[in-house]
Amino acid sequence: MADSRDPIVRALQKYTTNGGFLSGLTMWSPLRQDGNTKIVGPAYTVKYVPLDDPAPKHPTHYIDHVPEGAVVFVSCPPRIPNAVYGGLMSTRAKALGAVGSVIDGRFRDVQEQRDLAYPVKHLPPCLIVFARDVGTAPPAELLKVAAVNVPVKLQTDEQDMEIRPGDYLIADINGVVVLPVELAEKALPLMQKQVEADEKMAAEIKKGMSFVEATRALVFHIEIAEDSDSALASHTM
C-alpha cells in the first residue's frame, strides 16, 4: 500500500469526511489511469467564469506566470461542454517547470498532451494532466478568466471543497487530494508512518493473520496537534 495519497487522506479524515479528496478528477496524460505516475506540488489556481459575469477579464494570460514546481489548477463552472485547457497550455507550463495540471472541467488535445511525455532536453520529462473529461471547442465563446491565484471551489455538487493558492495537490491513478499548506509540515511525517503501518499490516495478513487481528495489532492512530483543528475546520467548512 504505497499510495502516497491514502495516508494523507487518513490523516485529514479526523477533521473532514472526505479527507481532502477532490471527486471526479482522473488522470488523462501521459496515459489514461496508468502506472505509478504521480504529481505533488503547490497549487497555482485559475478561475474561469461565464462571459456575463460582472467580474472583469484577467489582464494577462495565466499560463505565462506559472511558478516552477507548481500544479496548475483550472476551475471551470459546472456543465460547460467546452474545453478550458489544451496542448499549448501544457507546452508553456512544461517550459516554465510546472509538474502537472488539474482541470476541474474539460480539456482537449489529448494526443498532443501525451506527446509531451517524450523527453525534451532541459525540460521536465512530461506534464501530467488530470481532468473531469475531454472536449473540443475552446472556452472563449462561453467563458473568461476572471482571477489567478485566488481560492476556488471544486465544481461539483458532491462536495464543498476549496483549493487555495499554495495548498499542496497530490495526485495519482487513485485521484486528487488537496493538502492545506498549514497542515503539510505535520501531515507529511504522519504519512510516512501510515505507509509503514500499512506495510506491516500487509505482511501480517500475508502470513495468515485476519484483517481484524492485523488492525488491532498494528493500526496507527493518527493524531494532529489541537492547534490544527481550527485551521482545517475553517478550510473545509
Residues placed in the known binding site for substrate: 86-89, 108
Strand partners, 104: 75
Residue 187 in contact with residue 194, Cβ under 8 Å? Answer: no
CA distance 37 to 30: 8
* Dihedral angle over CA of 51, 28, 174, 202, nearest 10: -170
46: left (phi over 0), alpha (psi -120 to 50) or beta: beta
CA distance 40 to 7: 14
Q: Please provide the DSSP assignment of 27-88 as one string.
A: EEESSTT-TT--EEEEEEEEEEEETTSSSPPPSS-GGGGPPTT-EEEEE--TT--SBS--HH
CB neighbours (10 Å) of residue 141?
Answer: 8
Binding-site positions read 86-89, 108-109
Which residues lie closer than 8 Å to 109 by C-beta, 6 or more apart?
A: 86, 87, 88, 90
Residue 172 in contact with residue 38, Cβ under 8 Å? Answer: yes
Binding-site positions for Mg(2+) read 109
Helices 184-206 and 5-13 meet at what angle, rounded to 10?
110
